[in-house]
Every structure is written in structure tokens, then in C-alpha cells.
Amino acid sequence: MQNDKSIFLVKLSLFFVFILQASYSQAFTPDLLKADSLFENRSYKEAMEIYVPNYQNGLYSPAMLLKMAFIAEGIGDKEQATLYLGKYYDINPNPQIIEKIKNLTGQSSLSGYEVSDKDRFLLFLVEYKESILLVLSVALLISLGTTIWTKWKKNTRTTYWPVVILVLVIFMVNNFLMEPRSGLVTHSPSYIVSKPTAGGEMLEMIEPGHRLKIRSSKDIWYEIEWKNRVAYIRKDQVTRM
């Protein structure tokens, strides 16, 4: 029974390591390197044709987002350029990005770009998520190896709780450590209301460029945080980032 238990835990640990390694290696796909080369050679249309599907699949870097924003602005698609810059801001909060978005949208002031210390810490964890998972996986294998070695060599009673806890932590980090869900207002005008109904009180009418923190989705509405209160906005007035 103990040997069966050990074999199961070894297989489970190796499964996690395999999944993490596969996920980690996806960030370095050859087509993105090709797209970067095309961008450097000013073949912007061809580069964008590679960047867009990778972005939609969640494979992007801050540098790639800036390149996409540059290309989109160059072809006159200010909405998409604003979207990519807004996504870049999610990863790397930067006052210069806010000024650029203001120029693109023609806004003198924008809401939703404030970043708290808690938000910065979460963004830091998300940015280094792959490294955190790699470290946890190594710790898991070391813990598992130490436990099995102690049992076999010293023939003493062993506990698998450290292994189980590490597996659970890896599962939680891999599945629940994510960037805050945010959206960019892209419809003019857009209405912030107090309730997810047509009869809800209108709290504010806003123009494109404002950034929203999305709490949940309800039918045709997003529940959002707006100026320190819960509010709602129609989904067709927002583009998810």
C-alpha cells in the first residue's frame, strides 16, 4: 500500500512538472521570433498577422504589445492601439502610457488607471508566475524524493503532507493566480448605471479610453468597480483586455 502511494505521488508530481514545462516553453514560439524579425524589417502587416492570433491565445509580452499598438496607430486604428496600450498598462503601470492613451482618445482625463500597492503586488506575482511555478515544482520533487528516501533508507514513519501541500499550492497558483479582469471603454457614449437593468440610475456618461475593473458578468452587463463603488455597464460598450 505504501509503495502504491509513493508511485502515485511520483506520477502526480511528474505530471505537474510536465504541464508547467509545456506551458513555460510556449512563450518562446518560433513564429513570434519571426514576427519580431518582420517588425524590425518594417513588414508591419505581416508581423501583425502573427502577433494577433498569439495575443488572442494569451501569448504576448510587454514589448509585443507596444509593437502592436505602434502598428495599429500607424494604420489609423486608434481603438485597437488604445486596447493594446491598456493591456500593456495592466502589466506595467506607467504614467507615459496614460498620456499616450489620452492623446489617442482625445481625453483630458481618464479614470480606472490608478494602481494600489495590492494591485502592484498581484501584477508582480502574475509577471513571475512561471518562475514561481518552476520553483514550487523543484521544491515538490525535492520534498517527494526526500520523503521516499527517508522511508526506504531509514525505515521510519514518514508523512506526505509537505508533498500534498505543495501539490495544492501549485494547483492554486497555476489556476487562480491571474491578472485582474479589466476592460476598456470603446463605445461613445457609454453609460455607467447603478443596476443591471434599463431602468437603473445613470451614474455617469463616459467616452472611450476609460479603464474598468470587471468583477463579474451578468447577461448583457458587466459588474464593475467605478470610483470606489459597484456599478454596471453594457458589454457591447466595453472591450475585454
Q: What is the pLDDT of residue 26?
A: 45
Fold classified for 182-240 = SH3 type barrels. (2.30.30)
Sequence letter at residue 209: G
Nearest CA to 15 among 174, 219, 231? Answer: 174
Residue ranges per structural domain of the chain: 2-24+124-176, 30-107, 182-240
- For the stretch 25-62, pLDDT in tens is 444 578 888 999 999 999 999 999 999 998 888 788 88
Q: What's the pLDDT band for 21 if we cut at 50, 70, 90?
A: very low
Distances (CA, A) of 236 to 79, 171, 184, 204, 214: 14, 34, 11, 17, 14
Query: Which residues make Cβ contacts (< 8 Å) with residue 138, sequence separation at least 6?
Result: none
Please report the pLDDT score of residue 155 as a whole number: 65
Sheet containing 230-234, strands listed edge to edge, beginning at the edge strand earlier in sequence = 202-206, 190-193, 230-234, 221-225, 211-218, 182-185, 238-240
Query: What is the band of 174 on the pLDDT scale with cuts at 50, 70, 90?
Result: confident
Nine cell digits for residue 194: 447603478
User: What pTM, to 2 d.p., does this model score?
Assistant: 0.64
Over residues 178-201, the pLDDT tens digits come to 776 888 888 888 999 999 988 889
For position 70, what pLDDT does the model report? 95
Tell me if domain 30-107 and domain 182-240 are identical in fold: no
Taking only the tens place, the pLDDT of each residue in 59-106 is 888 899 999 999 999 999 988 999 899 888 877 888 888 889 889 888
Contact 74, 44 (CB under 8 A): yes
- Evaluate whether the domain defined by 30-107 bears CATH number 1.10.287.110: no
Taking CB atoms within 8 Å and a gap of at least 24, the contacts of 174-178 are 174/19, 174/20, 174/133, 177/125, 177/126, 177/129, 177/132, 178/126
The beta strands (E) that lie in 8-132 are given as none
**Other CB atoms within 10 Å distance of the CB of residue 120:** 11
